[in-house]
Chain A
Amino acid sequence: MKKYIILLFILFPFLSKAQSVSGVVFSHEANGKQPLPGVNVVWEGTSEGTASMPDGSFTLKNKPGRNKLVFSFVGYESQTVRVSDNDPLEVVLQPNLELEEVTVIQKDRGTYLSVINPIQTENISGAELHKAACCNLAESFETNPSVDVSYSDAVTGAKQIKLLGLDGTYSQLQVENMPALRGLATTFGLTYIPGPWLESIQVSKGAASVLNGYESIAGQINAELKKPDSEEKLFLNVFGNDEGRYEFNGNTNIKVKGDTLTTGIFVHASDVSKENDHNHDGFLDSPLSSTFEVANRWKYNNHRGGMAQAGFTLLWNDRMGGQVGANSDMIPSVDNPYGVNIETNRVDAFFKSGIVSQDNHRALAILTNFARHETKSYYGLSRYDADETRFYGNLVYTQDLDLAAIHVLNSGASFIYDDFNEMLYNQDVQRTEKVPGIFTEYTFKPSDRLTLMAGIRADFHNIFGNFVTPRMHFRYQFADHYTIRTSAGKGYRTANVISENTFLLANSRPISWTEDAVQEEAWNFGFAFIQNYKLLDRDLSINAEFFRTEFQQKLVVDRETSSEFIYLLPSTEKAYANSLQFDVRWQPVKRLDMLLAYRVNDIKETIGGELKDAPLTSDYKGLINLNYTTNLKKWMFDYTIQFNGGGRIPRVYEEWMNRADIAGDIFEFSPYTIMNAQVTKYFRYWNIYLGVENLTDFTQSNPIEGTDDPFGENFSATNIWGPTMGRKIYLGLRFNLNYE
């Protein structure tokens, strides 16, 4: 860390103090540039300035503390220009073709589908993140039609996401375009990013760009955190719910040297110490936990094409689930209550830097991150301890092959180092992955309407050998209202057999594996059709998409063949996932945003020699989200309803289960509905929100089986398909102060 800071200081440019600024203003006309007289030139935020002369020239005295000039002229787009050195400025103003009577403040778009990005991407903005309680990344998807969030078991509180109906492990998780929260962090990683630290989230489905590695199979989720050079000076958030969960979040940005060097400090603390057992099964509905996180990040931007960012995050997390009365001090034993205790310490660090050439046609970027993760845990009588050290580095060189940037080439090299030490059932597992790789990606963009992207990468894995990852994307807006997208690509990932499935330890059957790491391999194909219209003068967007993932090799969790073990085995037998989704976004009434979505999942894999529906996965999902804001956005109302389809419960077949009166409920779960609502009131510097999660108080009946004898052979807390927590009412407060 220290090294980076020193580096930042070395990179500092030696700015000379200019006495005055001069330059020429032009207008952009059909026959070229013309000098533009009478243009207002003022220092931003002041009324001090001048007007351009008949030949378009101007001279202006420097003003201490101000470094941005605003150029404005009736009929032209205003332009703000940063003044950084003595060189005369040349400013070209564009005619303002859409000069409107008055600019009406538009409602912030919550989630929108990008039509420009060649990859099918949903952008979840800060406005959308305000719609739900949103305590951490896992909970940010409540209003999203594409991502499903569920608990993986009934005791640890681990949240699992699904994209295209496939487990979250098949989606590459990124923080600011760098793979993050992998390996040991897979199980709880989503809860490690506090919601208030987030700026936006991008969910892209299907094959991703080869620049980010070979890993994404179902898609990619990228979390952008708040930037230190943003206008936010101070942000504070407190949150509490009626189940005894309390949170505090705070962050501040400091301008160390104007907007050249800035730093942001982040703090998060959360605590659940109230024991809740609403269904009276003797087990906590959700674990007790305490988390503390701090982060510090720096950004250097010389505003002349050079940029560098660095930062670190420290995390302490302790959770205790299981029977009421279990605590982290007790010794795991059949004489004590059944407990699940997980203690995690983690440090993350990153450094990235980029240089853009003077002519804007070449750029070089380096992205690196580092993580150290330590976990000590027990699930009943089974102990699981692990640590991981990981390093990632990626170097990308971008080059425009022609002046108009119709042909662009991105190429580079990457390196992954990942070292694991695990201990389960007193058995040591050690593994080190070292993967150097090279890649190149060609983009063809002859106009705003068409993009073709083709990429290929080769990776040289020390355990799984060499492999090639080809990927292709195509986007075409063939008419004003219609855009199509197609994608095809291969993906690989290392399944960390034990760490990704630790939640299965909350079960009487021990897990059994043959290899501690398996390379999974799949093809993904996608097609999307987007229509954009104006209906009653408001944007209407209709999206239809289909994705198919076909596995060549998959780690299959078999919990239904043997009554002795849960098998975790690599399989090359048939496994696929089809996902068909429709969504419609419109404003039926002014300032009332409506989202209707429906998705059908067809996810199958071969378990015990038979092609079956993936267990514990709903076969469809419907979503309606309504968001209304009053004029000037002083109040905001949100309502979300999710319709989840039924699915299959994996069980080892036993004679008695065949009885006609119980058969249905044992092997299948029924569709269920979840509702959430929230009201937010905005004030000048703060806002208050009151909401309710799971309004209808629906919970899965008997989430834990065999509760009367948790150390006995019928105990299972892993057949979870629905919510284990009932209605929760929450109240929160946000305070923010901006720089001006």
Chain B
Amino acid sequence: MKKLILLFTMAVFIGFAGNETFAQKKENKVVCFKSNMDCADCEKTVTEYLKFEKGVKDLKIDHVSNTILVEYKDGKNSDEELAAAIEKKGYKADKITKKEYEEIVAKNKKEE
């Protein structure tokens, strides 16, 4: 019995710790897109689809500013393949730089 509890604790620990360490250990690649999702449901569709693309570690998707930020493990995926995935769901994926992305997001915030 004790063994089982130990095993379970270890599994949980690895789940927690592993997730954190892997995320920091290797430098991930970030790509940004300008899109045309427009609605909250569309945002959800893109999120649910992109999160299971290979190597995807984090997502920031917003239908108001129509921006997509994908953080992924270098080598596991590419900017082009991610753009193709967004287009497959029927939305535009115009690649923009991180700087442009931040400007759009900041501008959106200002216009409020």
| Residues of chain A having any CB pair with chain B under 8 Å | 40, 42, 44-47, 70, 72, 74-75, 78, 80, 96-97, 99-105, 628, 630-635, 637, 639, 677, 679, 682-684, 692, 695-697, 740
Is B26 an interface residue when CB atoms closer than 8 A count as contact? no
Pick the residue among A72, A99, A683 that contacts B39 (CB under 8 A): A72
Task: Give Cα distance in the complex from A740 to B91, angstroms.
Answer: 13
Number of A-B contacts (CB under 8 A): 100
Contact status of A628 and B16, CB under 8 A, knowing A75-B112, A103-B64: yes
Pick the residue among B51, B61, B112 that contacts A103 (CB under 8 A): B61
* Interface size classification for chain B: 35 or more
A-B contact pairs, 10 of them (CB 8 A): A74-B65, A97-B112, A99-B112, A101-B106, A103-B63, A103-B64, A105-B59, A105-B61, A631-B58, A632-B51
Minimum CB–CB distance from A523 to chain B (whole Å) comes to: 45
Task: Give Cα distance in the complex from A692 to B57, angstroms.
Answer: 29
The answer to whether B64 and A635 have CB atoms under 8 Å apart is no
The answer to whether B112 and A78 have CB atoms under 8 Å apart is no
Pick the residue among B8, B90, B105, B109 that contacts A677 (CB under 8 A): B8
Task: Please give, as numbers and ranges, the residues of chain A lying within 8 Å of B1 by CB-CB distance.
Answer: 696-697
Task: Please give, as numbers and ranges, the residues of chain B lying within 8 Å of A46 by CB-CB distance.
Answer: 90
The answer to whether A684 and B52 have CB atoms under 8 Å apart is yes
Task: Give Cα distance in the complex from A683 to B89, angstroms.
Answer: 17
Contact status of A634 and B67, CB under 8 A, knowing A75-B111, A101-B109, A103-B43: no
Scan B1-39; emit 1 where CB is below 8 A from any A CB, else 0: 100110010011001100100010000000000001011
The answer to whether A683 and B109 have CB atoms under 8 Å apart is no
Known: A80-B41, A99-B109, A634-B52. 16 other contacts (CB 8 A): A44-B41, A44-B42, A45-B42, A72-B63, A74-B64, A75-B111, A78-B38, A78-B39, A99-B112, A101-B108, A102-B61, A103-B61, A632-B59, A679-B11, A682-B52, A684-B48
The answer to whether B45 and A102 have CB atoms under 8 Å apart is no
The answer to whether A78 and B67 have CB atoms under 8 Å apart is no
Is B78 an interface residue when CB atoms closer than 8 A count as contact? no
The answer to whether B4 and A47 have CB atoms under 8 Å apart is no
Q: Return the chain B residue nearest A631 by Cβ.
A: B58
Is B92 an interface residue when CB atoms closer than 8 A count as contact? yes
The answer to whether A628 and B15 have CB atoms under 8 Å apart is yes
Q: Return the chain A residue nearest B15 by Cβ.
A: A637
Task: Give Cα distance in the complex from A229 to B49, angstroms.
Answer: 21
Task: Give Cα distance in the complex from A44 to B92, angstroms.
Answer: 14
Task: Give Cα distance in the complex from A639 to B11, angstroms.
Answer: 12
Minimum CB–CB distance from B85 to chain A (whole Å) comes to: 11
Task: Give Cα distance in the complex from A232 to B93, angstroms.
Answer: 27
Minimum CB–CB distance from B96 to chain A (whole Å) comes to: 14
Task: Give Cα distance in the complex from A75 to B42, angstroms.
Answer: 18
Task: Please give, as numbers and ranges, the residues of chain A lying within 8 Å of B64 by CB-CB distance.
Answer: 72, 74, 78, 96, 99, 103
The answer to whether A695 and B45 have CB atoms under 8 Å apart is no
Pick the residue among B19, B40, B61 that contacts A631 (CB under 8 A): B19
Task: Please give, as numbers and ranges, the residues of chain B lying within 8 Å of A639 by CB-CB distance.
Answer: 8, 12
Task: Give Cα distance in the complex from A102 to B58, angstroms.
Answer: 13
Task: Give Cα distance in the complex from A732 to B21, angstroms.
Answer: 29
Task: Please give, as numbers and ranges, the residues of chain B lying within 8 Å of A40 by CB-CB distance.
Answer: 38
Minimum CB–CB distance from A636 to chain B (whole Å) comes to: 10
Minimum CB–CB distance from B104 to chain A (whole Å) comes to: 10
Q: Return the chain B residue nearest A697 by Cβ.
A: B1
Q: Return the chain A residue nearest B106 by Cβ.
A: A101
Pick the residue among A47, A74, A101, A692 that contacts B92 (CB under 8 A): A47
Task: Please give, as numbers and ranges, the residues of chain A lying within 8 Å of B41 by CB-CB distance.
Answer: 44, 80
The answer to whether A74 and B51 have CB atoms under 8 Å apart is no
The answer to whether A684 and B62 have CB atoms under 8 Å apart is no
Contact status of A632 and B56, CB under 8 A, knowing A72-B38, A74-B111, A695-B4: yes
The answer to whether B111 and A631 have CB atoms under 8 Å apart is no
Task: Please give, as numbers and ranges, the residues of chain A lying within 8 Å of B67 by CB-CB distance.
Answer: 102
Task: Please give, as numbers and ranges, the residues of chain A lying within 8 Å of B63 by CB-CB distance.
Answer: 72, 78, 103
Is B60 an interface residue when CB atoms closer than 8 A count as contact? yes
Q: Return the chain B residue nearest A639 by Cβ.
A: B12
Task: Give Cα distance in the complex from A38 to B27, angstroms.
Answer: 42
The answer to whether A632 and B58 have CB atoms under 8 Å apart is yes
The answer to whether A47 and B39 have CB atoms under 8 Å apart is no
Task: Give Cα distance in the complex from A45 to B89, angstroms.
Answer: 9
The answer to whether A740 and B16 have CB atoms under 8 Å apart is no
The 5 tightest CB contacts between A and B, nearest first, are A684-B52, A99-B112, A632-B51, A102-B60, A70-B39
Q: Return the chain A residue nearest B60 by Cβ.
A: A102
Task: Give Cα distance in the complex from A639 to B42, angstroms.
Answer: 33
The answer to whether B51 and A634 have CB atoms under 8 Å apart is yes
The answer to whether A96 and B112 have CB atoms under 8 Å apart is yes
Q: Return the chain A residue nearest B92 by Cβ.
A: A47
Q: Return the chain B residue nearest A105 by Cβ.
A: B47
Task: Give Cα distance in the complex from A679 to B15, angstroms.
Answer: 10
Task: Please give, as numbers and ranges, the residues of chain A lying within 8 Å of B111 by CB-CB distance.
Answer: 74-75, 99
Interface residues of B in 56-112 (CB under 8 A from A): 56-65, 67, 69, 89-92, 105-106, 108-109, 111-112
Task: Give Cα distance in the complex from A75 to B4, angstroms.
Answer: 54
Contact status of A45 and B90, CB under 8 A, knowing A99-B109, A695-B5, A740-B45: yes
Task: Please give, as numbers and ranges, the residues of chain B lying within 8 Å of A677 by CB-CB distance.
Answer: 8
Contact status of A630 and B105, CB under 8 A, knowing A70-B38, A637-B12: no
Minimum CB–CB distance from A6 to chain B (whole Å) comes to: 34
Q: Return the chain B residue nearest A73 by Cβ.
A: B64
Q: Return the chain B residue nearest A68 by Cβ.
A: B39
Task: Give Cα distance in the complex from A695 to B108, angstroms.
Answer: 51
Task: Please give, as numbers and ranges, the residues of chain A lying within 8 Å of B65 by CB-CB distance.
Answer: 74, 102
Contact status of A44 and B5, CB under 8 A, knowing A101-B109, A628-B16, A630-B15: no
Task: Please give, as numbers and ranges, the residues of chain A lying within 8 Å of B92 by CB-CB distance.
Answer: 47
The answer to whether B109 and A635 have CB atoms under 8 Å apart is no
The answer to whether A635 and B15 have CB atoms under 8 Å apart is yes
Minimum CB–CB distance from B21 to chain A (whole Å) comes to: 13
Task: Please give, as numbers and ranges, the residues of chain B lying within 8 Å of A696 by CB-CB distance.
Answer: 1
Task: Please give, as numbers and ranges, the residues of chain B lying within 8 Å of A740 by CB-CB distance.
Answer: 45, 89
Task: Please give, as numbers and ranges, the residues of chain B lying within 8 Å of A96 by CB-CB distance.
Answer: 64, 112
Contact status of A78 and B52, CB under 8 A, knowing A101-B109, A631-B19, A632-B58: no
Minimum CB–CB distance from B28 to chain A (whole Å) comes to: 12
Task: Give Cα distance in the complex from A72 to B69, angstroms.
Answer: 21
Q: Return the chain A residue nearest B57 by Cβ.
A: A631
Minimum CB–CB distance from A95 to chain B (whole Å) comes to: 9
Q: Return the chain A residue nearest B91 by Cβ.
A: A47
The answer to whether A103 and B62 have CB atoms under 8 Å apart is yes
Minimum CB–CB distance from B17 to chain A (whole Å) comes to: 12
Task: Give Cα distance in the complex from A103 to B60, angstroms.
Answer: 7
Task: Give Cα distance in the complex from A102 to B45, angstroms.
Answer: 16
Task: Please give, as numbers and ranges, the residues of chain A lying within 8 Å of B62 by CB-CB distance.
Answer: 100, 102-103
Minimum CB–CB distance from B110 to chain A (whole Å) comes to: 10
